[in-house]
């Protein structure tokens, strides 16, 4: 399949701030299954690969979806390993695959439509842009730790909607090729494209507050009359 995308989804057993979060039920099923349900609905995604250090996570995912599981080597296990090393491990095993989408189980509100649109945008922008990553747009008055304004002049006091936007790398997804990863040695290449997504889809579960917010938004989305945007 031309322009087929391989989805890479790292999942580890340990989580410091939300213990066992990948297997913790969210909306009636383990968190790790939400992103897999979304990925299977994206036409361009030909393969889903899970890189994990957990036999239980592997079992739960394989019981529910058609996935390839990579058992994470001991030398890249733990909480302080760069995600680029885990991606490199995956790419070393996937010799025939050329285009990749890396996302996380901690982004349960991402929609298939958003991912499909991002893939279409990136494929159309290649080779001018060697990679793409998701961002959240902010138009607010920001200061650094020394109380110095970052993106505005306090004396001018522009309306917030007229301020130059800043874009947060929200870690929801990254698109890159084998070639761009090899050249940059990271998932963001030298000529990346920003892809803005809805802040409500950009919830990334890092702590209990994020979990509560994701749970509430998921409940609203799946309630009668709610907009299920997957």
Please give the pLDDT value at position 221.
84
Instruction: Dump pLDDT digits (tens) for 54-75.
Output: 999 999 999 999 999 999 999 9
Please give the pLDDT value at position 1.
55
Which CATH code is given to the segment(s) 5-134+169-222? 3.90.550.10
CA torsion sign for 34, 54, 58, 189 is positive
Does residue 148 have a pLDDT over 60?
yes
Instruction: Dump pLDDT digits (tens) for 85-137.
Output: 999 999 999 999 999 999 999 999 999 999 999 999 999 999 999 999 999 99
Does residue 228 have a pLDDT over 90?
no
């Amino acid at each position: 399949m031309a322009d087929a995308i391989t989805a890479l989804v790292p999942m580890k057993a340990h989580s410091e701030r939300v213990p066992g979060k990948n297997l913790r039920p969210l909306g009636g099923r383990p968190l790790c299954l939400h992103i897999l349900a979304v990925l299977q609905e994206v036409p361009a995604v030909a393969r889903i690969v899970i890189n994990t250090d957990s036999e239980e996570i592997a079992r739960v995912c394989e019981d529910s979806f058609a996935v390839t599981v990579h058992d994470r080597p001991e030398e890249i296990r733990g909480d302080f390993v760069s995600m680029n090393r885990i991606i490199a491990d995956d790419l070393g095993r996937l010799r025939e695959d050329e285009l990749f989408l890396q996302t996380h189980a901690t982004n349960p509100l991402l929609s298939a439509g958003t991912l499909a649109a991002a893939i279409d945008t990136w494929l159309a922008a290649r080779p001018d842009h060697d990679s793409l990553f998701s961002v959240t747009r902010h138009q607010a008055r920001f200061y650094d730790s020394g109380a110095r304004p970052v993106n505005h002049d306090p004396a001018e006091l522009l309306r917030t909607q007229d301020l130059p936007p800043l874009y947060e790398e929200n870690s929801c997804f990254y698109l890159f090729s084998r070639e761009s990863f090899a050249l940059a040695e990271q998932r963001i290449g030298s000529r990346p494209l920003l892809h803005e997504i809805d802040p409500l889809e950009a919830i990334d579960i890092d702590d209990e507050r994020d979990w509560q917010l994701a749970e509430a938004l998921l409940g609203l989305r799946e309630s009668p009359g709610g907009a299920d945007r997957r």
